[in-house]
């Protein structure tokens, strides 16, 4: 099955070192949760995030939300022709079940992810919808064992979604950055067999995902 990894994704709980910051405390109070239980979001925690390590890649769960909605709102997913993984910037991996309807409402999505971080698994009728594990990108690849790994990056060779899809077999893995700015770390980059860049301008992850999966879907269903 085709795999999609959203890598180094901007999704994490508020880290310890800023849990005492005013913006975090007031936001967590509003939510009725502890600072350690809420997802880092730069639109609420901007002040607290100044100067933290890898700042530009962090605190954007909205991007992960959009990207997952793109990937899980399409026939390719409904027909179980794709496996979806979120690798986070802190080396956790979220396994997305094959029959999940993610909430479109942002605060419900965040509530679900906070529950996942706390309970490690979200089930419905005895089936895992979401599961989170401590796992590096490389460990995830060891589990998926894809034959071909294609990374999407503005640093890659210019191509089109149609041409990229020609390289895909059903045991390939597409890797897209789940962060707003910056590039893949070297540890991830070096695993790519091909690194390609779609579009003349830099495109957002959710746009790239929707286009590549749509082109791939055409090769399967049409």
Sequence-ordered list of residues with C-beta below 8 angstroms from that of 121, at least 6 positions apart, any chain = 128, 130, 131, 132
Kindly tell me which residue out of 107, 125, 145, 169 binds a second copy, with binding defined by CB under 8 A.
107
3-class DSSP state of 185: coil
157 binds a second copy (CB under 8 A): no
Q: From the CA atom positions of the chain, what is the Rg in Å?
A: 17
Find the binder of a second copy among 22, 43, 169, 186 (CB under 8 A).
43
Q: Does 91 bind a second copy (CB under 8 A)?
A: no
Q: Does 92 sit near a second copy (CB under 8 A)? A: no
* CA distance linking residue 190 with residue 215, whole number of Å: 26
Q: What angle do CA 180, 122, 187 make, to 5 degrees?
A: 40
Residue 158 · residue 151 · CB < 8 Å: no
Least distance CB 153 / a second copy (angstroms): 18
Task: CB nearer to a second copy: give 97 or 199.
Answer: 199
C-alpha to C-alpha distance for 171 and 73, rounded to whole angstroms = 21
Q: Name the β-bridge partners of 35.
A: none
Of 89-97, 122-130, 139-147, 197-205, the segment contacting a second copy by CB under 8 A is 197-205
Q: Is 75 in the site for a second copy (CB under 8 A)?
A: yes
Residues that bind a second copy (CB under 8 A): 30, 41, 43, 60, 62-63, 66, 69-70, 73-75, 78, 104-108, 160, 199-201, 203-204, 206-207, 210-211, 214, 221-222
């Amino acid at each position: 099955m085709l795999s999609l990894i959203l890598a180094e994704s901007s999704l994490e709980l508020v880290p310890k070192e800023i849990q005492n910051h005013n913006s975090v405390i007031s936001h967590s109070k509003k939510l009725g949760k502890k600072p350690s239980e809420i997802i880092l979001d730069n639109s609420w925690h901007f002040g607290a995030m100044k100067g933290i390590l890898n700042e530009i890649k962090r605190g954007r769960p909205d991007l992960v939300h959009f990207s997952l909605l793109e990937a899980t709102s399409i026939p390719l997913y409904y027909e179980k022709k794709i496996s979806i993984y979120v690798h986070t910037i802190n080396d956790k991996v979220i396994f997305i079940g094959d029959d999940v309807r993610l909430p479109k409402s942002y605060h419900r999505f965040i509530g679900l992810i906070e529950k996942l971080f706390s309970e490690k698994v979200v089930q419905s009728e005895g089936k895992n919808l979401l599961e989170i594990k401590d796992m590096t990108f490389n460990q995830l690849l060891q589990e998926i064992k894809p034959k071909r790994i294609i990374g999407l990056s503005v640093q890659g060779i210019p191509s089109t979604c149609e041409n990229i899809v020609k390289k895909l077999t059903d045991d390939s893995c597409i890797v897209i950055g789940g962060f707003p700015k910056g590039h893949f770390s070297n540890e991830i980059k070096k695993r790519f067999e091909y690194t390609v860049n779609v579009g003349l301008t830099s495109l957002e992850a959710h746009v790239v995902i929707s286009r590549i999966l749509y082109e791939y879907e055409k090769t399967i269903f049409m």
